[in-house]
């Protein structure tokens, strides 16, 4: 009887804590959108200094721009990235498998030694983990606000 009470307490009395976001100082994020048939690549790199480097290339044409994020924007990126560190990415997220002629995207991050990456093919953000979708939205908003000449990010 006592053993039954102990087992019941263990099963019903314990809450599973969700992982806490990492607290970190050093990080980098690489986000790419590419389309192979046209040799198109749009790449965004953000690091812990607030540098956002954007490279757009089509065939032999390359254009690179550097932007410095505000402290508020950098804090938002760190917050969203911290939340992403609590999940493990799938190797690949795939939406409509009949539409492989659309651009694909890739994200990779490094946070004080923890790394993860994934690729995405024809997915809507509602098909991604919420925390990953929130980080991608944040990156997209920062790019749209800063890179007014080259902004495309798959739009």
Query: What whole-number distance in Å separates Cα of residue 149 and Cα of residue 13?
Result: 56
Predicted local distance difference test score (pLDDT) of residue 59: 80
Q: Write the CATH number for 136.
A: 3.30.1560.10
* Total of domains in the chain: 1
Give the single-character DSSP code of 39: T
Average pLDDT rounded to a whole number, residues 26-44: 89
Is residue 7 assigned to a domain? no
Kindly state whether residue 16 falls inside one of the protein's structural domains.
no
In a domain, 120, yes or no: yes
Q: How far apart are CA 142 and CA 28, in angstroms?
A: 15
Tens digit of each residue's pLDDT (9 = 90 or more) over 57-113:
988 888 999 999 999 999 999 999 999 999 988 888 887 766 656 778 999 999 988
Q: Is residue 12 part of a domain?
A: no
CB 71 within 8 A of CB 145: no
The answer to the question of residue 87 being in a domain is yes
Model-level pTM? 0.79
Judge whether 84 lies within some domain.
yes
Residue 154 lies in a domain: no
H or E element: which one contains 153? none
pLDDT tens figures, 123-154: 888 889 999 999 999 999 999 999 876 655 44
For residue 98, what are the domain limits? 21-146
Predicted confidence band of residue 15 (pLDDT cuts 50, 70, 90): very low
């Amino acid at each position: 009887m006592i053993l039954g009470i102990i087992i019941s307490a263990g099963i019903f009395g314990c809450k599973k804590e969700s992982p806490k976001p990492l607290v970190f100082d050093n990080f980098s994020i690489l986000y790419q959108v590419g389309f192979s048939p046209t040799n198109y690549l749009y790449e965004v790199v953000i690091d812990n200094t607030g540098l956002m480097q954007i490279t757009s290339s089509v065939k032999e044409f390359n254009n690179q721009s550097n932007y410095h994020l505000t402290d508020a924007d950098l804090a938002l990126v760190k917050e969203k990235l911290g939340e992403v560190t609590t999940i493990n990415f799938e190797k690949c997220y795939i939406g409509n498998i009949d539409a492989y002629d659309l651009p694909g995207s890739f994200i990779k991050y490094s946070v004080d030694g923890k790394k993860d990456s994934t690729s995405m093919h024809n997915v809507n953000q509602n098909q991604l983990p919420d925390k990953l979708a929130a980080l991608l939205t944040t990156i997209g908003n920062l790019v749209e606000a800063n890179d007014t000449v080259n902004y495309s990010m798959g739009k």
